[in-house]
Amino acid sequence: MNKERDLKNLKSSYKLGFSVPEDYVFKSKKGLDEKVVEEISAIKSEPLWMRDLRLKSYQTFRQKQMPGWGGDLSQINFNEIYYYLKPTKTEAKSWEDLPKGIRETYNKIGVPAAEKKYLAGVKGQYESEVIYGSLLKSLEEKGVVFLGMDEGLKRYPDLVKEYFGTVIPPADNKFAALNSSVWSGGSFIYVPKNVKISLPLQAYFRINAANMGQFERTLIIADEGSFVSYIEGCSAPVYSTDSLHSAVVEIIVKRGARVRYTTIQNWSTNVYNLVTKRAKVFGDGVMEWVDYNGGSRLTMKYPSVYLVEPGAHGEILSLAFAGSGQHQDTGGKAIHAAPNTTSQIISKSVSLNGGRTSYRGLLQIYPGAKGSKSKVVCDALILDPQSRSDTYPTMRIDESQVQVEHEATVSKIGEDQLFYLMSRGIPEAQAGSLIVSGFVEPIVKQLPLEYAVELNRLIELQMEGSVG
Amino acid sequence: MGEKKDLVREKLELTLGRTLIDRLEEGESELRLGADEALTIFLLPSQKYKNKKLTVWLEGRGSRVEILGALLGGGEEESKISIRVIHKGRETSAYIHLRTVLFGQSRSLFSGLIRIEKDAIGSGSLLEDRVLVLGEAARAESVPSLEIEANEVKASHAATVGRIDEEQLFYLESRGVSRATAVRMIVEGFFEPVLRRLSRKDLVAQIRGELWADALKQYLPDS
């Protein structure tokens, strides 16, 4: 079959694993100390409060223990990492203004093409800095703000100061502290009251250098009654040494607003992806996380919703693929802190070729959150005897007037499904792919069409030769 | 097969295997099942249980365990139950189903782990934890984990925490049943799915008797 041959041609599988030569404005020395933190702050000419926050966070990072659960973090050597790489002097408004190597990188990934067709705005981050930005004029006129986080801090210092670190305090965990001390880049988004952005905003994060640490910081504020859909993608070259990506994403969903945050995580398999993502949702607001993790060596990420006012609703759709040498430790958290709040977590995972997926989740209902409802469903497929899947859910229910459900299933591909497809003349490998596609369908169909196509392609590549 | 001291008060031979009635004394129990051994363990509440750990190793090929529970908490009681089932042998199976009713300010902490190891090909495991909360200030925590290292298997768990369905109550009351009786009927019905798993009628009657006559009486007003 043609399609099969096409897939075979792509056998190198991770096609974004190329790199271009380094030609940077600034590269910090290897490793992390107070000097590096001060240097980053000085290069960015930041206000004093941010410099202090960074230094304080650095102390917190040093004091905090590594998490004693989740994946194997013992191979991370914090002294071998470059914490700050500034690739260009300024953020470009046009792709033509970017250095050739960077421009070609984004062309290969396909960001400029996508921008023309179906995006309302784009940010491109390369190493530590946002190097490209655009936003539809009509949105700018409505007061929508879509900036790199550094630019956001310069132009809206009061707004940033009011919200920065309020959803995820630096002391939340070791990696949130690390990010708070060396953060650079990421997106700053403000959507004014009742403004609904129909096309998605996108950010694309690229690591190019070896031993790179990328620490973007994103803050999204959706004012009352507004709507925004934000999509992030990422990739990196394949190196024999490891890179670290440790982002912090804070989202504020005000009364009646709705935010959808979609991640297509496609890091090369030498990247540690340790990310803290959390949304605070006010009255009748809606937060939706759509989280795909197919790349990286180890991902530890549990997008969270804190439902703090009545009627707030949170949804987490998590999809994970773990192949050879990969561990996807992912899931979600829903915290109900107000009456009549609702949440839903749906997790689907596939492990193959010795990969490991772990669902880790928390559902917490505080006293007084009467009438709250939550449903968690986790399904896992294990495709071969070398692979593994875990489910670690915690339900903490401190209020009696609630309804909480949790279900999880781990299984292999159904023999009868395979048999049926094969009896219709479909080769086993393809039948396996079909069944897996069907398994992940409920999450994939939540994506904009272009991404669903991209994701299906990524899944096909992951699945290649895995069944039969 | 090594049983530790406090697990068993009573052993009854059943046609399929044996049934242990465990009144949840404090402590840790470990059981190892050999080839084709089958065992049913029924957990019942006792006055003083606080912290109970039970581990079952399904070592022999074809070994089976069924762990059932009809549990109650009231007053300011806090109960902690941890159940682990480790599938080591081929074609082993486990069925765990706990039903807990919480009154007053009681608190229940349940952690369950099903682990299916690499060689336990063809095994199946199911865990269910159902909590019915009647006390306004009662609290429940449930952590049902799965660790699956083999692929020719099927494992699943389900957990729910909820209160009495107002519609059920309304229905019963509309038929002239007093509220207290209605609550009692619903609570009794809540335990039925685990009682029905036992094939011996005399055993079911005995457990029902214990539950209703002793334990439940404390919490549910006479109707």
Which of A234, A468, A438, A467 lies closest to A348 in space, CA to CA?
A438
Which residues of chain A have a CB within 8 Å of the CB of B155? Answer: 409-411
Domains in chain B: how many in total?
1
pLDDT of residue B133: 94
Average pLDDT of chain A to the nearest whole number: 92
Residue pLDDT, tens place only, A242-279: 999 999 999 999 999 999 999 999 999 999 999 999 99
Residue A467 pLDDT > 80: no
pLDDT of residue A397: 96
pLDDT of residue B222: 56
Span A127-153, average pLDDT: 95
Residue B172 lies in a domain: no
Span A207-235, average pLDDT: 96
pLDDT of residue A255: 98
pLDDT of residue A11: 38
pLDDT of residue B17: 43
Residue A7 pLDDT > 70: no
- Which chain B residue has its CA at the smallest distance from A406's CA? B159
pLDDT of residue A52: 97
Report the distance separating Cα A124 and Cα A135, nearest Å: 12
Report the distance separating Cα A79 and Cα A77, nearest Å: 5
- Which chain A residue has its CA at the smallest distance from B129's CA? A406
Q: Note the helical H segments in A293-444.
A: 415-423, 428-444
Span A404-415, average pLDDT: 90
CA distance B216 to chain A (A): 19
What residues make up the domain containing B31? 10-164
- Interface contact B148-A389, CB threshold 8 A: yes
Which of B80, B81, B135, B63 lies closest to B106 in space, CA to CA?
B135
CB-nearest to A410 from B133, B142, B155 is: B155
Residue B2 lies in a domain: no
CB-nearest to A408 from B137, B138, B146 is: B146
Who wins on pLDDT, A156 or A110?
Answer: A156
CB-nearest to B151 from A383, A391, A403 is: A383
Span A280-289, average pLDDT: 98
- Which chain B residue has its CA at the smallest distance from A383's CA? B151
Residue B55 lies in a domain: yes
Q: Which of A6-15, A102-111, B41-50, B106-115 has the highest mean pLDDT?
A: B106-115
Residue B41 lies in a domain: yes
Residue B5 lies in a domain: no
Report the distance separating Cα B142 and Cα B33, nearest Å: 26
Phi-psi label, residue A154: left if phi above 0, alpha if psi -120 to 50, beta otherwise = alpha
As given in the structure block, the two tokens for residue A114 are 């996508």
Span A173-199, average pLDDT: 97
| Residue A209 Cα to chain centre, angstroms | 20
pLDDT of residue A1: 38
pLDDT of residue A231: 94
Percentage of chain A exceeding pLDDT 90: 79
Chain A: which residues have CB within 8 Å of chain B?
367, 380, 382-385, 387-398, 400-412
Residue pLDDT, tens place only, A362-396: 999 999 999 999 999 999 999 999 999 999 999 99
CB-nearest to A397 from B146, B157, B161 is: B161
pLDDT of residue B142: 95
Report the distance separating Cα A459 and Cα A320, nearest Å: 10
pLDDT of residue A456: 78
Report the distance separating Cα B210 and Cα B102, nearest Å: 17
Interface test with A, best of B113, B143, B151 (most A CBs within 10 A): B151
Span A170-182, average pLDDT: 98
pLDDT band of residue A67 (cuts 50, 70, 90) is very high
Residue B17 lies in a domain: yes
Interface test with A, best of B111, B132, B145, B165 (most A CBs within 10 A): B145
Q: A-B interface: how many C-beta pairs under 8 angstroms?
A: 107
> Rounded to the nearest 5 degrees, what angle is found at the Cα of A457, between the Cα atoms of A454 and A461?
140
- Which chain B residue has its CA at the smallest distance from A388's CA? B149
Report the distance separating Cα A48 and Cα B13, nearest Å: 76
- Interface contact B146-A410, CB threshold 8 A: yes
Interface test with B, best of A400, A402, A411, A415 (most B CBs within 10 A): A400
pLDDT band of residue A5 (cuts 50, 70, 90) is very low
pLDDT of residue B205: 85
Chain B: which residues have CB within 8 Å of chain A?
102, 118, 121, 131, 133-163
> Tokens 């941010």 identify what position?
A50
Residue B212 lies in a domain: no
- The residue ranges of chain B whose pLDDT is under 70 are 1-26, 46-50, 213-215, 221-223
Residue B169 lies in a domain: no
CA distance B112 to chain A (A): 10
- Interface contact A400-B133, CB threshold 8 A: yes
- Interface contact B154-A410, CB threshold 8 A: yes
